Structure 1
Amino acid sequence: MQYLFTGLAGLAIVSAGAAGAAGIERARTPIDVLFEEGNHVQFSFSYVDPSVDGTYAAPLGGGDTGDALESYLNAGVALKYQFSDRLSGMVALGQPYGADASYSEGIYTGLAAEWDSTSLTGILKYEFNDNISVYGGPRIVKSQAEIDIPPALIGAATGVPVAYNAGGDPDTDVGYVLGAAYSRPDIALRVGLTYESAITHEFDSVETVGGVATDTTTEVELPQSLTLDFQTGVAPKTLLFGSVRWSEWSEWQVAPPVYLGAAGQPVTGFDHDVFAYSLGLGRQLTDDLSVFARVGYETSEDTEMTRLSPIDGRTSFGIGGSYQVSEATEITAGIEYIRLGDAFDSTGTTYEDNSALGIGVQIGMKF
């Protein structure tokens, strides 16, 4: 049984960041590259355009918040090398986390946050036989963040209406990836379980309140996660694939010391973990062309969300296809629509009927 799209199960060319973990998680480690045959290099590019606005609570004057989240580009590259029949390795460069929030209407005008990250992951995979393999290696993440809070919001939290800004140098920390997989190549079956450790940043930052700057250190933990990926042939030229992922986002918060002392609460954070599910079906139409469709769901908690990421769960639907340009090169493209879960923040401002659209392209080449 031959399958043109052996990598579709791990494909993440669009969407994950638009809705994953309330818009913070934008890309995942491309473990699927480890299971490509021979030497392989993969380039991925995506563009995500969220449309997120809300309605201010009556005590804040009502009215529309305007669009709260900005569109963004994401890119990644992964290189897999086959050292021997049993041993292979992968190096991947990506942008796993990010935030681009900015308000321009109503009392939240001037509230903005930016988070940029870059990850470098190195993984070795050892195959005990044709069915069982294990893999693991270090994961390095570099992040930088900046937050602006306008006088109106600082005054509401502290009683003193002054502007607030926090920003500083980037910080780099190291975690690790561990996993194991079971495969049956004759029926395109693969089940993999991957653990990614938490990564803790300690940002040397400057908090500025009303023009007075204070040097502080802010600790932010990026969550540990556990992902079950699977794929299997269900009929000739037809592949079923999906994933289940748990991320400990309840440990994530941004609480600069000066702001925390004045307001008594973090700038942003989550109080619950996140479970995300996906299921898809791929079909080979010709020797060169395959198509796929998939659905995704992320749990909602119906609890207070942060105004810097006002999303509570999501449901998504995506379609796309892969074309074998040559014996060594395959291009995959897709589009995904994401229905973002309704949310509310600490002031009672509500965010309803929001969505995002993602498009992406992935180029894979054997060498």
Structure 2
Amino acid sequence: MKKALLQACVLCAGATAAHAGGLDRSGQGINLIFEEGSVVQFRLGYTDPDVSGTMLGVDSGDVAKDFFSPHLGFKTSLNEKLDFALIYDEPYGADIAYASNYPLSAGTLTNDVLRAKADTDAVTALLRYKFGNGFSALGGLRVQRVKASVSVPVAADYVVNTDSATDFGYVIGVAWEKPEIAARVALTYNSKISHDLSQTESSLLVGTVNSSSEIETPQSVNLDFQTGVAPRTLLFGSIRWVDWPQTVYDPPNYPPTSALVDYDDPTWTYSLGLGYQFSEQFSGAVTLGYESSTNEPVSNLGPTDGFWSIGLGGTYSMERAKISGGVRYTDLGDATADGAGPGARANFSGNSAWSVGIQVTYALN
């Protein structure tokens, strides 16, 4: 029961994640390390957000672009006490562009628009040591690559393009399991990762110059839990805290006095779900998600504030393979975005996202 149910739950809660914490895309999950034996896993989520607002009576257009969220993983048992997993994901990202007539797209010489694109790739090597009596400790190394491009035409036609930067962080955690009732609690800490970005900045004020900036992807804590509550029935959920105030991007030649990207508050994201095994081959799950709003002005490069969501997932189990699919609807929180002044703020409301995902886990032994 536990294996089939868990696959449905993981997909519904994770593979279709959308817009958690603005830039948060994968949730940095490590459930693969708890698979039995040796397995390979592939997961692909697709999200189609619908985000729009107005400033000074001008429509922003649908600013958030659709995106894919890939995940690849390999897990094996090195011996009775020690497990190893290698996980690839894209933990953070942004792809946003405004209409050409939007006030903040009003440049002097260029035909560019207010836009931002940021990509990250991460590979995590993870070890888990089992102490006995259900307790285990886990830890590992994460290598992460980041690259970004931002245009703010209203700020003297400002554009910045960074080179790729690759740096290291770490993961540590503890877990407790009781297989007889399909129970597990796992607490995981993900360190911040500091990147020194080489970049090219251009604007009407400085021309084109080469410079460098530091940016940190934030530290975070994940608490994941599950337990059987009735025959063939699993209750599961998670709490994720992300320390977004650590993430500040302040290129030296950006004209305004404020940073290009910064955050005032961390985010708390919650999920709770129920899974049921309908037969030996098929299991299903429903998941509710919630992220609290900060009720503070947000960046135009991420104009949402909190969300609630509902997801449905299912898993079909065969002799060696488990195939999961899921769909999720997310109601994105209303937000007020900073503008050129207090009277020129933008209002974003009535926004949402649809996500779908598929996951295949194949046992090698």
TM tier relative to shorter chain: over 0.9
Report the TM-score, using the length of structure 2 for normalisation. Answer: 0.93
Mapped partners of 2:126, 2:10: distance in 1: 16
Amino acid at match of 2:5: F
Q: 1:302 aligns to what?
A: 295
Q: 2:166 aligns to what?
A: 172
Residues 170 and 190 in structure 2, CA contact (< 8 A), matched pair in contact too: yes
1:346 and 2:318 aligned:
no
Q: 2:35 aligns to what?
A: 36
Amino acid at match of 2:42: F
Question: CA separation of 1:318/1:339 partners in 2, compared to 1, >3 Å: closer, same or farther?
Answer: same
Mapped partners of 1:264, 1:56: distance in 2: 21
Mapped partners of 1:239, 1:330: distance in 2: 18
Residues 14 and 335 in structure 1, CA contact (< 8 A), matched pair in contact too: no
Provide the identity percentage: 36
Q: 1:275 aligns to what?
A: 268
Residues 92 and 119 in structure 2, CA contact (< 8 A), matched pair in contact too: yes
> What CA deviation, in whole Å up to 9, does each residue of 1:320-358 have, x standing for no partner?
10011x211001110000000000112211000100010
> What CA deviation, in whole Å up to 9, does each residue of 1:29-60 have, x standing for no partner?
33111111100111000110010000113xxx
Equivalent position to 2:203, from 195, 202, 209:
209
Stretches of structure 2 lacking an aligned partner (at least 5 in a row): 106-112, 340-344
Between 1:213-222 and 1:240-249, the stretch displaced more is 213-222
Mapped partners of 1:349, 1:30: distance in 2: 34
Q: 2:24 aligns to what?
A: 25
Residues 167 and 193 in structure 2, CA contact (< 8 A), matched pair in contact too: yes
Q: What is the Cα deviation at residue 83 of structure 1?
A: 0.8
Amino acid at match of 2:73: A
Stretches of structure 1 lacking an aligned partner (at least 5 in a row): 155-161
Q: 2:315 aligns to what?
A: 322
Q: What is the Cα deviation at residue 365 of structure 1?
A: 0.6
Q: What is the Cα deviation at residue 15 of structure 1?
A: 3.6
Amino acid at match of 2:330: I
Residues 101 and 308 in structure 1, CA contact (< 8 A), matched pair in contact too: yes
Q: 2:64 aligns to what?
A: 69
Q: What is the Cα deviation at residue 63 of structure 1?
A: 2.5
Question: CA separation of 1:312/1:2 partners in 2, compared to 1, >3 Å: closer, same or farther?
Answer: closer
Mapped partners of 1:235, 1:41: distance in 2: 30
Amino acid at match of 2:20: G
Question: CA separation of 1:2/1:19 partners in 2, compared to 1, >3 Å: closer, same or farther?
Answer: closer
The count of corresponding residues between Structure 1 and Structure 2 is 349
> What CA deviation, in whole Å up to 9, does each residue of 1:69-101 have, x standing for no partner?
100112110100111111110001111111001
Using CA pairs below 8 Å that are at least 6 residues apart, which structure has the higher relative contact order?
2
Equivalent position to 1:133, from 112, 132, 136:
136
Residues 297 and 315 in structure 1, CA contact (< 8 A), matched pair in contact too: yes
1:108 and 2:108 aligned:
no
> Residues 81-96 of structure 1 correspond to what in structure 2 (within 5 A)?
81-96=76-91
Mapped partners of 1:2, 1:349: distance in 2: 47
3-state SS, counterpart of residue 301 of structure 2: coil
Between 1:129-138 and 1:105-114, the stretch displaced more is 105-114
Mapped partners of 2:353, 2:363: distance in 1: 33
Residues 8 and 283 in structure 2, CA contact (< 8 A), matched pair in contact too: no
Equivalent position to 1:183, from 177, 183, 194:
177
Q: What is the Cα deviation at residue 10 of structure 1?
A: 3.9
Q: 1:157 aligns to what?
A: none
Between 1:246-255 and 1:285-294, the stretch displaced more is 246-255
Amino acid at match of 2:85: M
Residues 58 and 103 in structure 2, CA contact (< 8 A), matched pair in contact too: no
Mapped partners of 1:291, 1:192: distance in 2: 22
Residues 182 and 191 in structure 1, CA contact (< 8 A), matched pair in contact too: yes
Question: CA separation of 1:328/1:319 partners in 2, compared to 1, >3 Å: closer, same or farther?
Answer: same
